[in-house]
Amino acid sequence: MKALILVGGFGTRLRPLTLSVPKPLVDFANKPMIMHQIEALKAVGVTEVVLAINYQPEVMLNFLKDFEAKLGITITCSQETEPLGTAGPLALARDKLVDELGEPFFVLNSDVISEYPLKAMIEFHKSHGGEASIMVTKVDEPSKYGVVVMEESTGKVEKFVEKPKIFVGNKINAGIYLLNPSVLDKIELRPTSIEKEVFPKIASENKLFAMVLPGFWMDIGQPRDYITGLRLYLDSLRKNSSPKLASGSHIVGNVLVDESAKIGEGCLIGPDVAIGPGCVIESGVRLSRCTIMRGVRVKKHACISSSIIGWHSTVGQWARVENMTVLGEDVHVCDEIYSNGGVVLPHKEIKTSILKPEIVM
């Protein structure tokens, strides 16, 4: 089986992290976002993953070469010279996606994190005999999204309603699809939307079916949703009694700590924290609802909450970092500094407090 991951463009909403690496390589729960998807695809028998990309393909490929051998899966790029939307890339990668057996292929949006029930999706796709299957997820505020209206019993999709003013349903497109190769005949090689142009056409022929995604779902393409996504992901590890979660008297709630990280005396860590490889957390530090990426040093008695600390940064003694602060790569926050929602570009030293959310160049 094959799969296409829609990687797309510049990842502007996750800057300053995406100034250092393309968005799919930004760490989430101690591994690059895209690895969560590639591992899930590999687990259901996908042998080739195509990345649809229009930005820094060589950086992506160089990075993923290491993983190709480890996972035993082929990873290639299909590069757009102009942004082609969400359907155009399928037409561009057509020759890479169709195999001689005419098997269906997966399409995933690279920002989506979930439990990826891909095996169940394959079964569902076989059972309904249609042309395309999409995953949908239930949301509390459907008016912010495009809603999928479907028959509850069969999953047959009737129509799509973009940002409905009145209630038509609470299920939205979750960005995970399983498509027969015949779908490619409906897509032209031009900038085009799979959600607005291709799926409505297939639905009008009664060949589009939706499966309700079990478990959690989050689009982690911006900092606030990234932090929420981490909580949901760690919750899911807890539900599945994962041995990856840390335990000990200094741990509160769900915490992920890389085995190479060092944690000092008297710290209190959690809930909803990920600490990456090679990090040093000195004594008396308090961490909650945050991601500490590879190679970060957090000095004594610092306090970090609801924030993302980028690779190889330093947070000084008695510093306080909170309220969706995002530090880019190699940022150094001096001792006793307060950051209230600062977004700091890479390679900066912060010597004065950031009292209200702002971008620090």
344: alpha, beta or left? (left if phi > 0; alpha if psi -120 to 50)? beta
Whether pLDDT at 64 is above 80:
no
pLDDT tens digits, one per residue of 306-336: 999 999 999 999 999 999 999 999 999 999 9
The residues near 218 (Cβ < 8 Å, ≥ 6 apart) are 112, 113, 114, 225, 228, 229, 232, 233
Whether pLDDT at 58 is above 80:
no
User: To 10 degrees, the CA torsion angle through 144, 107, 157, 126?
Assistant: -150
What is the per-residue pLDDT for 60?
A: 76
Average pLDDT over residues 174-188: 89
What is the per-residue pLDDT for 11?
A: 65
pLDDT tens digits, one per residue of 68-103: 888 888 888 887 777 788 788 888 888 888 877 788
Report pTM: 0.87
Average pLDDT over residues 176-205: 87
Domains, in order of start, for the chain: 2-219 (3.90.550.10), 228-359 (2.160.10.10)
pLDDT tens digits, one per residue of 156-166: 988 888 777 88
Average pLDDT over residues 239-258: 91
Residue 271 phi, psi (nearest 5): -80, 170
Question: Which of the four pLDDT bands, split at 50, 70 and 90, describes residue 10?
Answer: low
Distance CA 250, CA 247 (A): 8
